[in-house]
Amino acid sequence: MFKTTISFLFVILSISLMASEEYPQTCITHGECQKSLGTVTSPMCLIVNTGTNASGEVTCTVRCISAVAGSYCDKPDDYQYGFCMRETFDMPNFDPSNPDCSRAVEL
């Protein structure tokens, strides 16, 4: 009986440690992650059109804005549960000396 109680307490302690931000939290839906982790402000950078130069070529640059990032449940298809992950925004590949404006967006 004593051994079972100690094992049960260990499991409860492990679950509560895993629920902290340092350890991945288990989830079934995205809503669980949004509720428990909330949202944060994170930089999001995009390649944007800036107009045209004197030769008539389209010009662009990278602009960053503050965006609200939430969290989602990263769950493999074969599993009933997953782990809460924060949304991240990738920095676009941009070479200012040879800009590729084909992926640029209008602001």
- Give tens-digit pLDDT for 23-33: 578 999 999 99
Lowest mean pLDDT among 2-16, 22-36, 57-71, 87-101: 2-16
d(CA 14, CA 3): 17
Q: pLDDT at position 27, please?
A: 93
Structural domain count, the chain: 1
How high is the mean pLDDT of the chain? 81
Q: pLDDT at position 3, please?
A: 44
Tokens matching residue 73: 């449940």
List pLDDT tens digits, range 44-84: 999 999 999 999 999 999 999 999 999 999 998 888 899 99
End-to-end Cα separation, the chain, in angstroms? 66
Domain that holds residue 92: 2-103
Tally Cβ neighbours within 10 Å of residue 45: 15
